[in-house]
């Protein structure tokens, strides 16, 4: 598929992923001059109507949605047995990649990601669409940290809150709901369950149920309870654990009524996760939502902190009902406590306590922030490109690690945005010097340089490059180029030189831009000595300019007379020039011809001798040419 152009518009540049049904490529949209992602149905499924229908359903389902947390669908098409979907190209990684690298994620990060997924699902549910396959592999995270939900390949359209799949099991076994495991009715609450599993994995670094086979895992979704989160990660607040427990309840009726209710609890959780001097509370937080969690976090004795929800409940945090006098009293105490906490926090600016600044260089930004805050330090974050430090990690900090500072001092950390991205310039048609300059000006490096003949191209110009434009690469990437050697050698049909004297073909070979190759003498009494008997390659063979031609010539019989035709052209010089042809053979040296001629005059004389015959031509007593016959 690489370098193929679909519908004369989308040029495939590189493979970036894939699954059991399709492969995903990065491509260039020539019409709009932008990078896009192309999802291509695998060839083995192009004749399977079920897969084609599922593939088209994904495009139709996702195309109805428009939300900042959902990957956009731009186009869908079919080109020469290739079914494809054109999607928004996301430069980043999957949530699964992030979990594998960093898990367990900081609680604040996990809650933020889960809430953005929930907001994407809320939009889908409002459009009567259930995703059915929420898992970290289908969640993309951009370089800026934004969450994007993708892969609506098994999404189902619904006309009410539930749907029936006729006993078909859909979804990914580690993340699907009990009702999906049973192949029964599936609704919006199935997505809520899957999101609870994803949040569980982000917080703990492991899926709630694992097994040796998909069937054993599915049975655990139906029959077993997951290991409590706080046993795996004691830093998780009870409030967050309660959200996961409610989302993952095995009975759909006991889960959140809808995804909007879950989002409300996420927002409330984010409010409590802020530190003292940044926490913001509203009147609606008291006391029906906040009180149970405050009691637990303060260490007070409470009944079961995670209760079974009532059918008419709107949140796990609003189940406590108190009389109005109690409401006013508790509201006053909480507000008074907040004021005191704010004053104490403000007073830290005059604290005499000193802190040794920890080293957070090379750590993920969320981890670095948590380390600094836990040391009673403030954090200021800025970003910068770096081709040496992976995106999201701390490049530098100020003050540096080991420095002693007062409490609440602001530590500035610079976070890598990864290598700076640039567009590969189009070098084709440029001469080599200009191409190298263009590569340098784009922040790229010259890689391998190859040369080859190219019909119709000027020598020393670029005829190909890799990567090709308009690929987006990190600055410092090497660009390989191919330089033209000009139009290749011409081809011609080889003449028949047989029967000609070897001494007469030199001029013809030169005019044809051929070379005289190996000469072999063969005794032959049918041809005069020096006559070409055969040639290699043979006559009429198609050869290129510069080819060497080997000849076999007749060798004279010992004692026989050898003859040759001597051709002389008088060179420029005096008006009258003396020409002398001298023959040396077994009989000695003698003058075979002598005369006076004008410049440019052409003289042709036959000479003969026996044995080894040498012919020398003199003009004005200077040797002009010499040959042996």
pLDDT (mean) for 93-112: 91
The predicted pLDDT at position 145 comes to: 85
Residue 587 CB partners (closer than 8 Å, separation 6+): 609, 610
pLDDT tens-digit readout, 564-599: 899 999 999 899 999 999 999 877 899 999 999 999
Average pLDDT of the residues in 119-132:
88
What secondary structure does DSSP assign to 439-477, as a single string? HHHTT-EEEEEEEE--TT--TTBEEEEESPTT-EEETT-
Q: How far apart are CA 568 and CA 615, in angstroms?
A: 12
Strand partners, 532: 553
pLDDT of residue 295: 36
Beta carbons within 8 Å of 277's beta carbon, 6+ residues apart: 341, 342, 345, 346
Mean pLDDT value of segment 222-242: 89
Domains of the chain: 1-89 (3.30.200.20), 97-330 (1.10.510.10), 351-416 (3.30.10.20), 421-484 (3.30.10.20), 558-629 (2.60.40.2560)
Segment 37-42 shows an average pLDDT of 87
Q: What band does 157 get if pLDDT is binned at 50, 70 and 90? A: very low
Would you state the structure tokens that stand for residue 470, as one six-digit string?
Answer: 């308009």
Report, as an integer, the average pLDDT of 500-504. 84
Q: How far apart are CA 614 and CA 621, in angstroms?
A: 17
Write the pLDDT tens digit of every residue in 444-470: 899 999 988 887 788 889 999 988 887
Find, among 431, 277, 405, 275, the residue nearest to 352 by Cα: 405
pLDDT band per the 50, 70, 90 thresholds, residue 482:
very high
Strands 378-384 and 410-416, bridge-based pairing: parallel
538 or 610, higher pLDDT: 538
Residue 211, SS3?
coil
Buried b (16+ CB within 10 A) or exposed e, 44-62: ebeeeeebeebbebbbebb
Record the tokens describing residue 418, joined without a space: 């990864």
pLDDT at 332: 54
Q: Mean pLDDT throughout 67-76?
A: 87
Note the pLDDT tens digit of each residue in 260-311. Answer: 999 999 998 888 776 433 444 443 443 333 334 333 433 333 333 333 333 3
d(CA 396, CA 392): 12
List the catalytic residues.
133
Q: How confident is the model at residue 51 (pLDDT cuts 50, 70, 90)?
A: confident
pLDDT value of residue 323: 44
Give the Cα separation of 28 and 13 in Å (integer): 7
Predicted local distance difference test score (pLDDT) of residue 480: 93
Q: Which residue has the higher pLDDT, 316 or 47?
A: 47
pLDDT at 528 > cutoff 60: yes
Where residue 7 falls (left for φ over 0; alpha for ψ -120 to 50; beta otherwise) is left
Q: What is the mean pLDDT of the chain?
A: 80
- The CA-to-CA distance between both ends of the chain, in Å, stands at 65
User: Which is more confident, 57 or 473?
Assistant: 473
Range with the poorest average pLDDT among 243-257, 264-278, 364-378, 572-586: 264-278
pLDDT at 336: 55
Q: Could you give the CA distance from residue 39 to residue 18 in angstroms, rounded to a whole number?
A: 8
Residues sharing a CB contact under 8 Å with residue 332, sequence separation 6 or more, in sequence order = none
At residue 331 the predicted structure's pLDDT band, cuts being 50, 70 and 90, is low
Candidates 467, 475, 477; CA nearest to 427 is: 467
pLDDT exceeds 90 at position 193: yes
């Amino acid at each position: 598929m690489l370098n193929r152009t679909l519908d004369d518009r989308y040029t495939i540049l590189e493979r970036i992923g894939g699954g059991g049904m399709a492969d995903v490529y990065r491509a260039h949209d020539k019409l709009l001059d932008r990078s896009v992602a192309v999802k291509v149905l695998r060839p083995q499924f192009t004749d399977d109507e079920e897969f084609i229908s599922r593939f088209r359903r994904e495009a139709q389902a996702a195309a109805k949605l428009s939300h900042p947390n959902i990957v956009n669908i731009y186009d869908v098409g079919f080109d020469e047995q290739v079914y494809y979907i054109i999607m928004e190209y996301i430069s980043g990684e999957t949530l699964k990649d992030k979990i594998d690298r960093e898990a367990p994620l900081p609680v604040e990060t996990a809650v933020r990601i889960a809430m953005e997924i929930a907001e994407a699902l809320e939009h889908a549910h409002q459009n009567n669409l259930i995703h059915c396959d929420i898992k970290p592999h289908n969640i993309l995270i951009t370089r800026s940290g934004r969450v994007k939900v993708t892969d609506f390949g098994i999404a189902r359209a619904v006309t009410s809150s539930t749907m029936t799949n006729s006993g078909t099991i859909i979804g990914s076994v580690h993340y699907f709901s009990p009702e999906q495991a049973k192949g029964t009715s599936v609704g919006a609450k199935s997505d809520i369950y899957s999101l609870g599993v994803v949040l569980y994995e982000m917080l703990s670094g492991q899926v709630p149920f694992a097994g040796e086979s998909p069937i054993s895992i599915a049975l655990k979704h139906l029959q077993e309870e997951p290991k409590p989160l706080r046993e795996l990660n004691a830093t998780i607040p009870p409030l967050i654990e309660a959200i996961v427990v409610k989302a993952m309840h095995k009975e759909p009726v006991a889960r959140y009524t809808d995804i909007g209710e879950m989002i409300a609890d996420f927002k409330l959780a984010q409010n409590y996760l802020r530190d003292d001097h940044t926490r913001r509370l509203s009147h609606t937080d008291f006391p029906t939502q906040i009180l149970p969690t405050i009691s637990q976090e303060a260490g007070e004795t409470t009944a079961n902190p995670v209760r079974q929800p009532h059918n008419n409940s709107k949140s796990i945090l609003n189940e406590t009902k108190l009389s109005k006098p109690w409401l006013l009293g508790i509201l006053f105490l909480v507000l008074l406590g907040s004021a005191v906490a704010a004053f104490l926090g403000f007073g830290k600016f005059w604290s005499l306590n000193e802190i040794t600044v920890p080293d957070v260089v090379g750590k993920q930004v969320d981890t670095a922030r948590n380390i600094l805050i836990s040391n009673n330090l403030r954090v200021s974050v800025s970003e910068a490109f770096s081709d040496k430090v992976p995106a999201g990690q701390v490049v530098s900090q100020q003050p540096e690690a080991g420095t002693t500072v007062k409490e609440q001092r602001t530590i500035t950390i610079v976070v890598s945005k990864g290598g700076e991205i640039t567009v590969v310039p189009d070098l084709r048609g440029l001469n080599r010097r200009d191409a190298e300059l263009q590569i340098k000006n784009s922040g790229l490096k010259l890689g391998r340089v190859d040369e080859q003949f190219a019909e119709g191209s000027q020598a020393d110009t670029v005829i190909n490059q890799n990567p090709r434009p308009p690929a987006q690469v990190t600055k410092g990437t090497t660009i390989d180029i191919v330089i033209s050697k000009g139009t290749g050698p011409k081809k011609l049909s080889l003449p028949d030189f047989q029967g000609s004297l070897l001494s007469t073909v030199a001029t013809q070979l030169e005019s044809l831009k051929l070379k005289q190759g190996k000469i072999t003498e063969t005794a032959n009494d049918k041809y005069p000595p020096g006559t070409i008997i055969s040639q290699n390659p043979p006559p009429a063979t198609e050869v290129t300019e510069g080819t060497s031609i080997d000849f076999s010539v007749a060798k004279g019989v010992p004692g026989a007379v050898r003859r040759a035709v001597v051709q002389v052209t008088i060179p420029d010089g005096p008006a009258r020039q003396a020409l002398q042809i001298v023959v040396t053979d077994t009989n000695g040296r003698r003058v075979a011809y002598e005369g006076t001629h004008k410049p440019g005059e052409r003289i042709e004389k036959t000479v003969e001798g026996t044995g080894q015959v040498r012919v020398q031509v003199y003009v004005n007593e200077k040797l002009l040419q010499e040959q042996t016959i």
